[in-house]
């Protein structure tokens, strides 16, 4: 599970603890063993989990993944959808926007605080110079920043109880997602190749040998950067 996802789960659990009468549901797409990752969220305190596991979903790009997650979320009809800041593998931070667009719901990103009241979400969004305070009517999609909270550790009791919580593994067909909407067939991008970035030919390493500062200054003068 991505570290960012645990921030989203923590935010959801705190909302539930404050509101009482609600449910925290974990949703993901992946192979069958991804349920083990979801179980960590259940151990933290989430109520149930739904995993879309289907060979037809393998190879989905952002478009295919969005189609699948939007289908699950349409089925669940949550009041609030929380995402982590970004994925841990490719550092992608687009999925929450794509899902919100597909669901035609408002979206707020980089949330460093989150309050719900009177049918709307009030979010402080971190910016370069401070915070924006943004409101959005529910339901909406919010991607929380990694600064919004310190995720709790699952308790031993939570770990032992997680297995007993509802964990559904569903297929594309059960969600009404056609074969052309997921997997490679439902994707709009194709990865041709992956390469390291080109080396910088003119880079030089200046080490702290006592002359370093003078050499850095000479370099900056040469580039007319002083």
Partner 1 sequence: MSGFELTEEQREIVAAVRDFVDRDVVPHASDFEHADEFPTQMVETMRDMGLFGTTIPEEYGGLGLGLDTYAMIIMELSRGWVTLSGILNGSFIAAWMIRLHGTDEQRQKFLPQLASCEIRAAFSMTEPHAGSDVQSILMTAERDGDEYVLNGQKMWVTNGWRSGLIMLLAKTDPTTDPPHKGMTGFIVEKEPETNPDGLTIPMPGLKKLGYKGVESTELVFDDFRTPASSILGGEAGIGNGFQYFMSGIEAGRVNVAARGAGLAEAALNDSLQYAQEREAFGKPIGHHQAVQLMLAKMATRAEAARLLTLQAAQKKQAGGRADLEAGMAKYFATEAAQENSTDALRIHGGYGYSLEYRPERYYRDAPLLMIGEGSNEIQQLIIARRLLERHKV
What does the binding site for partner 1 look like in residue numbers (CB under 8 A)?
Answer: 39-40, 43, 152-157, 159-160, 162-163
Q: How far is the CB of 87 from partner 1 (least distance, A)?
A: 19
CB nearer to partner 1: give 22 or 159: 159
**Measured in Å, how far apart are the chain's first and last C-alpha atoms?**
46
Q: How far is the CB of 216 from partner 1 (least distance, A)?
A: 25
Cα 159 versus chain centre, distance:
23
DSSP-derived secondary structure letter, 116: E
Q: How far is the CB of 155 from partner 1 (least distance, A)?
A: 5
CB nearer to partner 1: give 106 or 161: 161
Q: How far is the CB of 163 from partner 1 (least distance, A)?
A: 8
CB nearer to partner 1: give 64 or 154: 154
Cis ω for the linkage preceding 24 (within 30 of 0): no
Choose among 42, 94, 43, 44: nearest CA to 69: 94
The two tokens of residue 164 are 């007993």
> 192 by DSSP, 3-state: which?
coil
CB nearer to partner 1: give 8 or 121: 8
Q: How far is the CB of 37 from partner 1 (least distance, A)?
A: 11
The residue with tokens 């041709």 is 192
CB nearer to partner 1: give 40 or 125: 40
Separation CA 144–CA 113 (nearest Å):
8
């Amino acid at each position: 599970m991505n570290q960012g996802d645990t921030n989203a789960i923590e935010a959801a659990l705190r909302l539930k603890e404050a509101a009482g009468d609600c449910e925290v549901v974990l949703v993901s797409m992946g192979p069958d063993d991804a349920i083990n990752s979801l179980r960590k969220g259940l151990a933290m305190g989430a109520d149930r989990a739904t995993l879309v596991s289907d060979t037809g979903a393998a190879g989905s790009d952002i478009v295919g993944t969005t189609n699948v997650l939007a289908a699950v979320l349409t089925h669940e009809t949550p009041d609030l959808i929380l995402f982590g800041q970004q994925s841990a593998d490719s550092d992608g931070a687009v999925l929450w926007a794509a899902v919100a667009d597909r669901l035609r719901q408002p979206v707020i990103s980089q949330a460093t605080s989150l309050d719900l009241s009177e049918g709307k979400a009030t979010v402080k969004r971190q910016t370069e110079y401070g915070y924006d305070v943004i409101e959005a009517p529910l339901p909406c999609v919010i991607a929380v920043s990694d600064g919004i909270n310190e995720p709790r550790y699952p308790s031993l009791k939570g770990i032992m109880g997680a297995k007993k919580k509802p964990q559904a593994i569903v297929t594309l067909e059960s969600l009404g997602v056609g074969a052309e909407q997921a997997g490679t067939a439902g994707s709009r991008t194709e990865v041709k190749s992956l390469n390291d970035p080109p080396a910088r030919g003119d880079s030089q390493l200046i080490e702290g040998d006592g002359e370093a500062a003078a050499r850095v200054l000479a370099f900056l003068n040469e580039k007319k950067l002083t």
